Structure 1
Amino acid sequence: MLSPLTKLKPSAKVAVVGGGVSGLCFTYFLSKLRPDVEITLFESQNRTGGWIYSCATKDMNGKPIMVEKGPRTLRGVSDGTVLIMDTLRDLGKEAVVQSIDKGCIADRKFLLDPSDRLVQVPDSVTTTLKFLLNPLGKGLITGMMGEWFRKKSPHPGQDESVESIIDRRFGNNYISKNMISALLRGIYGDDIALLSAKRTFKKMYFNELKHGSNIQAMIDNMREKSKSKKSKSLHQSLTGCLNDYSNALGKDRSKLVDLSNTLKKYPMLGLAGGLETFPKIVRNALGDFSNVKIITDNPVMQIIKHPANEKTIGLRVESGNKYEGFDHLRLTITPSKIAKLLPKDENSLSRLLDEIQSNTIILVNYYLPNKDALDTNLHGFGYLVPKSNKNPGKLLGVIFDSVIERNFKPLFNKSSPNPNALKKYTKLTAMIGGDMLNEHGVPVVPSKEVTISAVKDALNHHLGISNEDLEAGKWEFTIADRCLPRFHVGYDAWQEKAERMFQETYGQTVSMGGMGFSKSPGVPDVIVDGFNDALQLSK
């Protein structure tokens, strides 16, 4: 938020709208920091966890399987990941944590070239040479060699699109339409010509602003690291968020440092049973907290503002019930959904929130038992589709779940074997749509039959999976409707304006979290955001 949140009064009442991982973790941290505060969490669905959804289903033979219909892995280097792992450890559930080792085949990533062949993202001399000889590598060497000498933006500090900053810094448009477009479609489901560089490509944006170029930033950062190593304090330090976490919850600093350093060794982490294991564990823990109440399957329909008592706020839910007297309201849903909850006399704020559209992602899961239908040369995390590819099926990318699952190793419980390690099966998740579904700002979703047919064609053409195997498999179709806010150019300025208008209208009684208002949209990022705001409210 723009300014620090005001400490809650003793025995305050707090409402949280949105039972995704952001709302759950905000509730968890606030309830631990302030056990005197009464918290009510409202979730519109009959389950919590939001877009993290490890779906238990059955294959065509009636045997139980799990397919991921949302995020499935975490980055080990993130502060938010440390908070997740430490929370699991606090709750006695660290045995569920799994890791992928550096250099493991499951960490290999591919891009689809213009001729629909998979090309590995460089991770060695050999793969680098192959990549540079492919059309996807065009402009990479000359772009990088000249990056140091290219001029900065003529408007320093002004936001621009990712495509704009990449093309300017590297002197061509090949890198943006090939590598970078694929990467950001995989993360945000959006077009780099529309995405904010300041919001979604921060490192390059601020490198240019501060150092003049990325090459110069690398040189300056190497010098700083060299100085830090001499002091020998770097290894034992905690970053701002983790330092605050340690102080606020009385954590053993050395154990947190050790955990952080351990997690940084792994490029990818996951959880036994799927990533939804974490929000499920947090939800179960909240069930034991006497100061927390969770209301599901009853959407919030309206925020009730009382002119006579501006220090409290109320909510009306779909069933018609009203919940009054909240000292603070935490909103973790998307901006456009928040707009629908505002009173009619707040049209200007509603219109501002409605400016942020959201992308819809279609997820298609494929499962084939008793056979690995993937060519072993293509075993890896999966592949993404660049903007330069013709891409008639509007494919964002495909994740090779079975390869990841077979290569997971227990991180803390080393003696526990991976039950999937020796199994033969194929499990894939295709991601479709995003900005490519939008027509005049509205997502137009093709039918289940049309979508699955297009995915079959892609898996056959790109991966060589036979039509026989494709027809024999189990298929799941899911529409993640408007799940990702569109981080357009100028998003940070929009967010600042939205937060200011909320403060002008509601004072300190409302705060926002979730993907639309955190610093970044990843699972670890929204958790850090939730902790930071819970801490401000508890001080």
Structure 2
Amino acid sequence: MRFNRHVFHLDSALRHHISPSSSLSRQCRRYASDAQTSYPKRIAIVGGGIAGLSAAHFINREFPKSQITLYEAQDDVGGWIQSRKVQVDGGEVIFEYGPHTLRPAGPMSLPSLMLIKDVGVADQLVGTAMSSEGAGRRFLYYPDRLNELPSGRDDLTLAKLLKLQQAGLLSGIASVLKEPFVPPPPDDMIDDSVGEFLSRRFDKRLVDNLASAVYHGIYAGDIYQLSAAAMMPAFWRLERDYKSILGGLWKLGGKIPIHPHQSITLHQILEEAHERSYVEEDFNKLPQMPEDLAFVYFKGGIQTLVNAIEKSLRSKENVTIKTGTAVHSYENVKDKFGRINVVAGESSSEPVPYDFVVSTTPMNLTPYATVMVVNLYYQTPNLAPAGFGYLIPQSVPMDQNPEYGLGVIFDSHATPHVDEVPGTKLTVMMGGHWWQDWASYPSESEGAAMAKSMLKRHLSIDVEPDACHVTLNRDCIPQYTVGYVQRADELDADLRHNYKGRVRVVGSQFNGVGVNDVIRGAFGMAKQMKVGGLFKDGWRDTHRTGLERWTFDQSFDPGFVLGRTERH
């Protein structure tokens, strides 16, 4: 569930700075013209979720002559992306068990648009306008009622701010003015939790009431466990380099510094977009989209994308998808070619050598949160307020949230064009970090009862749903806990030492938990594979692992900046 985060686009100066004539362009293409460059004959991809499928797609674009084998332990591909049609009186509704939407983010979301266009489902996209109630109206539940949040700067009315102040959500707001004068932490502090970091700079009440709700919506996580260095690296660096977040922003003209590796990725994205002849195109340029686009979704549910990628890959003679086939191990082949042996299927199966392995499976880098998703449909319309939904901060009294709810999406308002019949459709999310020490989880019947109890207390919905489905998504969202960057650095060193660039990682544990994040990670990894190149004497690029976002020159270059997207 993704509530309104700051969405960024490239500043015009950055576009100029990373134009094809720049040093970044030369760095990205430094090996491409070498006459000896060949291609990997065999590539294995471990995992068939959106990370593995996207990796297979983009790698196939870069290496169309390579034999690509994708292994998936389950009987179906797609991972947590699942859309199911449910028959109700008068027609069908679609329940989303995982992600619901994609959020446009300027050039950073272009790889998703490229993928969608490549597999032929761009015409299945529907957009929700920011000016609509389904996107513009968002709520926080605190302490015992819904509180509507401003939808943007134009909506920052005195009346709304007074209501939020009276509810207690803005308690401590004066601390924002004092932030530039707060002393920085010791120089030897290499990480801190998001909660402690923000509480150091601002009033803790603001952090508990507002920030914790946002992180519930994105990560189902506890802000006092999640890493500030990993979750908000730009603000972390502003405090380190300028002794203040707001002071640093003022010195940089209100612009956000970005990591050098991110600027390289942005260059690769723009260069690819230029080659495809839509440098300025984004989701909002599609003919069916509103001008003030907030997010997009698929008419048939987000699994439309998964199904289309799978169909596209299966149509390629050089691509094989093996479902129901778990990978048990991969290790170096002790020969002059430096290949990787993969053991998959039966544990006694003969190992198969590959020139390259892409792993999307967990690497013990992070713990995971388990989230229970309850989809409910009522024939009665407008049982919930018009809006996108609401989030629940950690500061809500437990008697108001005994079910350990994280938030609720008002699907019938947010994504109204996926269902054949009117009514009220809701998605309730519970658990996350609240359940991290539980030995067992609620059953389906218990989960349904908990969701209905929560909706009765929060929204006064006291009727039985006409359709209900409960999904327990075990270990579905990686938690980038304190020390993540250091652990990523250690994993990077291990992969480089053991596999010399022939094993790389991509997925939500490494690239971010959003669908756009993972697709962009797969795009960048495929580009880096092509840049590195396979040569007659072996794989030339031996230091890439897919973890460069965390380990590649940890200094932030203030010359590379992101400006905030203007809302119309």
Q: Give me the TM-score of the superposition, normalised by structure 2.
A: 0.79
**Letter of the aligned partner of 1:138 in structure 2?**
S
* Match of residue 396, structure 1, among 392, 398, 406: 406
Query: What whole-Å deviation, never above 9, does each CA across 1:372-399 have from its counterpart, x for those lacking one?
Result: 1424xx2211111111112210111111
Unaligned regions of 5+ residues in structure 1, if any?
226-237, 337-352, 407-417
Q: Is 1:160 matched up with 2:192?
A: yes
Counterparts of 1:62-461 in structure 2 under 5 Å? 63-107=91-135, 108-114=137-143, 116-123=144-151, 124=155, 125=157, 126-140=159-173, 142-155=174-187, 158-170=190-202, 172-222=203-253, 240-247=264-271, 251-253=275-277, 255-259=278-282, 262=285, 265-308=292-335, 311-320=338-347, 321-336=349-364, 353=365, 356-369=366-379, 371-375=380-384, 378-389=385-396, 390=398, 391-406=401-416, 418=417, 423-439=421-437, 444-461=440-457
Q: Is 1:502 matched up with 2:533?
A: no
Query: What whole-Å deviation, never above 9, does each CA across 1:11-49 have from its counterpart, x for those lacking one?
Result: 521100111111111111110111111110011112211
Structure 1 residues 89 and 192, CA gap change in structure 2 (3 angstroms): same
* More displaced 10-residue stretch of structure 1: 292-301 or 241-250: 241-250
Counterpart-to-counterpart distance in 2, 1:11 and 1:181: 45
CA contact under 8 A between 1:157 and 1:209: conserved in structure 2? no
Counterpart-to-counterpart distance in 2, 1:260 and 1:271: 13
Counterpart-to-counterpart distance in 1, 2:484 and 2:120: 40
**Letter of the aligned partner of 1:88 in structure 2?**
I
Counterpart-to-counterpart distance in 2, 1:178 and 1:316: 49
Tell me, what secondary structure is at the counterpart of 2:279? Answer: helix
Counterpart-to-counterpart distance in 2, 1:6 and 1:314: 27
Tell me, what secondary structure is at the counterpart of 2:491? Answer: helix
Structure 1 residues 246 and 34, CA gap change in structure 2 (3 angstroms): farther
CA contact under 8 A between 2:249 and 2:255: conserved in structure 1? no
CA contact under 8 A between 1:373 and 1:465: conserved in structure 2? no
* Cα RMSD (Å): 2.7
**Letter of the aligned partner of 2:474 in structure 1?**
D
2:526 maps to 534
1:190 is displaced (CA, Å) by: 1.2
Tell me, what secondary structure is at the counterpart of 1:477? Answer: strand
CA contact under 8 A between 1:156 and 1:209: conserved in structure 2? no
Query: What whole-Å deviation, never above 9, does each CA across 1:400-432 have from its counterpart, x for those lacking one?
Result: 1111122xxxxxxxxxxx5759x5211111111
Counterpart-to-counterpart distance in 2, 1:490 and 1:179: 24
Counterpart-to-counterpart distance in 2, 1:454 and 1:38: 49
Equivalenced residue count is 481
Question: More helix by proportion, 1 or 2?
Answer: 1
Tell me, what secondary structure is at the counterpart of 1:484? Answer: strand
Q: Give me the TM-score of the superposition, normalised by structure 1.
A: 0.83
Tell me, what secondary structure is at the counterpart of 1:367? Answer: strand
1:71 is displaced (CA, Å) by: 0.8
Counterpart-to-counterpart distance in 1, 2:454 and 2:334: 57
1:345 maps to none
CA contact under 8 A between 1:6 and 1:508: conserved in structure 2? no
Counterpart-to-counterpart distance in 2, 1:284 and 1:508: 30
**Letter of the aligned partner of 1:528 in structure 2?**
R
Counterpart-to-counterpart distance in 1, 2:439 and 2:276: 48
Structure 1 residues 403 and 529, CA gap change in structure 2 (3 angstroms): same
**Letter of the aligned partner of 1:298 in structure 2?**
T
**Letter of the aligned partner of 1:57 in structure 2?**
V
**Letter of the aligned partner of 1:497 in structure 2?**
E
Structure 1 residues 489 and 92, CA gap change in structure 2 (3 angstroms): same
Counterpart-to-counterpart distance in 2, 1:494 and 1:6: 30
1:327 is displaced (CA, Å) by: 0.7
Tell me, what secondary structure is at the counterpart of 1:362? Answer: strand
* Match of residue 68, structure 2, among 32, 39, 55: 39
1:265 is displaced (CA, Å) by: 4.2
CA contact under 8 A between 1:334 and 1:485: conserved in structure 2? no
2:458 maps to 462
1:128 is displaced (CA, Å) by: 2.2
1:473 is displaced (CA, Å) by: 2.3
* More displaced 10-residue stretch of structure 1: 154-163 or 194-203: 154-163
Counterpart-to-counterpart distance in 2, 1:288 and 1:382: 39
1:492 is displaced (CA, Å) by: 0.9
**Letter of the aligned partner of 1:397 in structure 2?**
G
1:54 is displaced (CA, Å) by: 1.2
1:485 maps to 478
**Letter of the aligned partner of 2:409 in structure 1?**
I
CA contact under 8 A between 2:107 and 2:270: conserved in structure 1? no
CA contact under 8 A between 1:396 and 1:432: conserved in structure 2? yes
**Letter of the aligned partner of 1:189 in structure 2?**
A
Structure 1 residues 153 and 262, CA gap change in structure 2 (3 angstroms): farther
CA contact under 8 A between 1:361 and 1:481: conserved in structure 2? yes
Structure 1 residues 245 and 177, CA gap change in structure 2 (3 angstroms): closer
